[in-house]
């Protein structure tokens, strides 16, 4: 009998392909699909207590809504002799299965159609809960717990289907050893044969003689390590991040973002200073951040580094621009005027705030028009007087 306790540290029930196959197969047994998600919730929150597995018989207690846990019994029928023979022929190397790894050529064993997963006719289950479903959430939680165990100990599947892998390996080792003994006795006079006592001293094993017969089986049993049946194996499972295959980005062709344009620098009075053929050149020559220059050009800032900046066509004529407008001079508001698109003055106001109060046009929009961030506000072009 083997005992297990499954502890999940995340929502992940299985990480490996074979454990996932077992969990996917559980839906074949369900008569109510809504029990599947509830069963997954139970295993994730640790409701499944210690699980006992004896061959194809699984017993477990599952905490529910009542103070006393529910008792779950699952019986899996042994595999047919034909299937067992088919499986044993594939078991050339059991080492990887013992280490929790399923080689690719063993993967067909972890299926229903060609492998050892029980079909719905080969598995019976019962639970002490009052649920009318034949496959209640408590049974499903235990089945998912079996998937978590298989994730780390795939060799358990053979035990569930009544296949004694250890016995098969003992017989295989016994047959190989007997063949070696017969071969040694047939060549006992050859100098190349190592004396039995030397083999025992060299490898630390006891050699059987040709007369030992079936006593060699007993010798194997005596030398075999016995597992403590009371030992509870803890299955702890956490999410295993899979490496993402990220596509290698194609190198992008570098394009000049201001091709055909130049960056021109002006002082606060609007007088031209110098032009640059890229933002990088302007930044390197002035020690003014490229981002601030871009923001000044887009109108998000009035200036950058105490200068005005414009992006203009490379072949355009160089002219002085409007001086940097200061809204307040010595704390005194400046008057503003509302103009038509033709440039005719319509009205004058002592300040932007007063213009907003009398016209209802947002003061920020008026200031943005004055500073050139937008073309007009409320149907007028605004300027300081």
pLDDT per position as a tens digit, 135-194: 899 999 999 999 999 999 998 999 999 988 777 665 555 454 555 555 555 555 555 555
Domain extent at residue 357: 328-384
Quote the CA–CA distance of 258 and 112 in Å, as a whole number. 65
Same domain, 285 and 370: no
In this structure, are residues 94 and 169 in contact, taking their beta carbons and an 8 Å threshold?
Answer: yes
Please say which residue of 166, 194, 220 terminates a domain: 166
In this structure, are residues 256 and 297 in contact, taking their beta carbons and an 8 Å threshold?
Answer: no
Same domain, 10 and 135: yes
Length of the chain: 385
Quote the CA–CA distance of 355 and 382 in Å, as a whole number. 10
In a domain, 172, yes or no: no
| Segment holding 145, helix H or strand E | helix 137-152
- pLDDT tens string 335-363: 899 999 888 998 999 888 888 888 889 88
Same domain, 16 and 124: yes
Quote the CA–CA distance of 349 and 338 in Å, as a whole number. 8
Same domain, 266 and 370: no
Number of domains the chain is built from: 3
In a domain, 22, yes or no: yes
In a domain, 98, yes or no: yes
Quote the CA–CA distance of 148 and 150 in Å, as a whole number. 5
In a domain, 198, yes or no: no
In a domain, 376, yes or no: yes
Same domain, 36 and 143: yes
In a domain, 349, yes or no: yes
Q: What is the pLDDT of residue 178?
A: 54
Q: Is 18's pLDDT higher than 80? A: yes
Asked whether the whole model's pTM tops 0.85, one would answer: no
Same domain, 129 and 7: yes
Same domain, 341 and 304: no
Q: CATH number of the domain that 299 lies in?
A: 1.10.10.10
Q: Is 95's pLDDT higher than 90? A: no
Q: What is the pLDDT of residue 202?
A: 45
In a domain, 320, yes or no: no
Same domain, 22 and 162: yes
Please say which residue of 121, 150, 166 terminates a domain: 166
Please say which residue of 313, 338, 373 terminates a domain: 313
Same domain, 10 and 105: yes
Same domain, 334 and 301: no
In this structure, are residues 237 and 8 in contact, taking their beta carbons and an 8 Å threshold?
Answer: yes
Same domain, 45 and 144: yes
Which residue has tokens 């005596």? 222
In a domain, 240, yes or no: no
Same domain, 51 and 102: yes
């Amino acid at each position: 009998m083997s005992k297990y306790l499954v502890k999940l540290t995340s929502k992940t029930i299985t990480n490996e392909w074979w454990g996932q196959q077992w969990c996917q197969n559980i839906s074949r047994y369900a008569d109510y699909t809504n029990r599947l998600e509830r069963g997954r919730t139970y295993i994730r929150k640790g409701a499944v207590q210690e699980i006992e597995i004896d061959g194809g018989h699984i017993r477990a207690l599952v905490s529910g809504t009542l103070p006393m846990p529910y008792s779950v019994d699952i019986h899996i029928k042994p595999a047919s002799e034909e299937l067992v023979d088919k499986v044993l022929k594939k078991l050339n190397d059991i080492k990887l299965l013992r280490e929790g790894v399923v080689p690719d050529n063993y993967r067909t064993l972890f299926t229903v159609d060609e492998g050892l997963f029980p079909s719905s006719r080969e598995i019976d289950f019962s639970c002490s809960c009052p649920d009318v479903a034949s496959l209640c959430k408590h049974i499903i939680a235990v089945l998912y717990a079996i998937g978590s165990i298989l994730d780390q100990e795939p060799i358990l599947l053979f035990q569930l289907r009544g296949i004694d892998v250890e016995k098969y390996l003992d017989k295989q080792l016994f047959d190989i050893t007997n063949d070696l003994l017969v071969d040694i006795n047939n060549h006992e006079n050859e100098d190349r044969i190592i004396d039995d006592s030397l083999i025992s001293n060299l490898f630390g094993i006891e050699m059987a003689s040709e007369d030992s017969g079936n006593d060699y089986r007993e010798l194997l049993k005596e030398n075999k390590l016995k597992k403590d049946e009371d030992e509870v194996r803890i299955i702890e499972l956490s999410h295993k991040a899979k490496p993402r295959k990220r596509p290698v980005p194609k190198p992008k062709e570098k394009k000049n973002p201001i091709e055909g344009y130049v960056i021109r620098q002006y002082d606060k009075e609007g007088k031209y200073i110098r032009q640059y053929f890229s933002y990088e050149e302007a930044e390197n020559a002035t020690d003014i951040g490229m981002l601030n220059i871009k923001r000044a050009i887009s109108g998000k800032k009035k200036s950058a580094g105490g200068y005005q900046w414009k992006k203009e066509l490379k072949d355009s004529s160089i002219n002085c621009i409007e001086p940097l407008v200061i809204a307040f001079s010595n704390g005194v508001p400046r008057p503003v005027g509302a103009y038509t698109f033709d440039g005719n003055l319509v009205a004058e106001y002592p300040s932007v705030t007063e213009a907003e109060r009398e016209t209802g046009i947002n003061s920020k929009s008026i200031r943005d028009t004055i500073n050139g961030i937008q073309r007009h506000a409320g149907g007028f072009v605004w300027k300081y007087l």
